[in-house]
Amino acid sequence: MKRLLFFICTLLCANVLWAQDWFWVGELQYEVTNSTTNQVKVYAADASITTANIPATVTHYNTTYTVTSIGNNAFAYCSNLTSVTIGNSVTSIGEFAFAYCSSLTSVTIPNSVTYIEFGAFRNCSSLTSVTIGNSVTSIGGYAFAYCSSLTSIDIPNSVTIIRDEAFRDCISLTSITIPNSVTSIGSYAFYYCNSLTSVTIGNSVTSIGSGAFDYCISLTSATIGNSVTTIEDWAFSNCRSLTSIDIPNSVTSIGDYAFFDCSGLTSVTFGESLAEIGENAFATSSLLQNITCLATIPPTLQGSSVFPNPNTATLTVPCGSLDAYSAPTSVWNMLFTDRIEEDCGGETGLEDLNAVEISFFPNPTNSKVTFNQAIERIELIDLTGKTLRTYENESEINIEQLPAGVYYLRLTNNEKQTLRKLIKE
- Interacting residues of 215 by C-beta distance below 8 A, sequence separation 6+: 191, 192, 194, 237, 238, 239
Identify the pLDDT of residue 17: 40
Give the β-pairing of 184-185 and 161-162: parallel
Identify the pLDDT of residue 345: 61
Q: From CA 98, how far away is CA 92, in angstroms rounded?
A: 13
DSSP output for 107-124: EEE-TT--EE-TTTTTT-
Identify the pLDDT of residue 361: 86
Identify the pLDDT of residue 410: 82
Give the β-pairing of 253-254 and 230-231: parallel
Identify the pLDDT of residue 351: 43
DSSP conformational letter for 302: S
Q: From CA 286, how far away is CA 265, in angstroms rounded?
A: 8
Per-residue pLDDT of the chain (425 residues; tens, 9 = 90+): 444 443 444 444 444 344 459 999 999 999 999 999 999 999 999 999 999 999 999 999 999 999 999 999 999 999 999 999 999 999 999 999 999 999 999 999 999 999 999 999 999 999 998 999 999 999 999 999 999 999 988 789 999 999 999 999 999 999 888 989 999 898 999 999 999 999 999 899 999 999 999 999 999 999 999 999 999 999 999 999 999 999 999 999 999 999 999 999 999 999 999 999 999 999 999 999 999 999 999 999 998 899 998 888 999 998 888 889 998 889 999 999 889 998 876 444 444 455 456 888 888 889 899 989 899 999 888 766 678 899 999 999 999 888 988 788 888 888 777 777 788 88
Q: From CA 228, how far away is CA 15, in angstroms rounded?
A: 57
Q: From CA 307, how far away is CA 83, in angstroms rounded?
A: 51
The H-or-E segment that residue 250 falls in is: none
The answer to whether residues 38 and 60 touch, using CB atoms and an 8 Å cutoff, is no
- Interacting residues of 417 by C-beta distance below 8 A, sequence separation 6+: 296, 349, 350, 353, 410, 411
**Predicted model pTM:** 0.78
For the chain, what's the residue count?
425
Domains of the chain, first to last = 21-173 (3.80.10.10), 189-344 (3.80.10.10), 354-424 (2.60.40.1930)
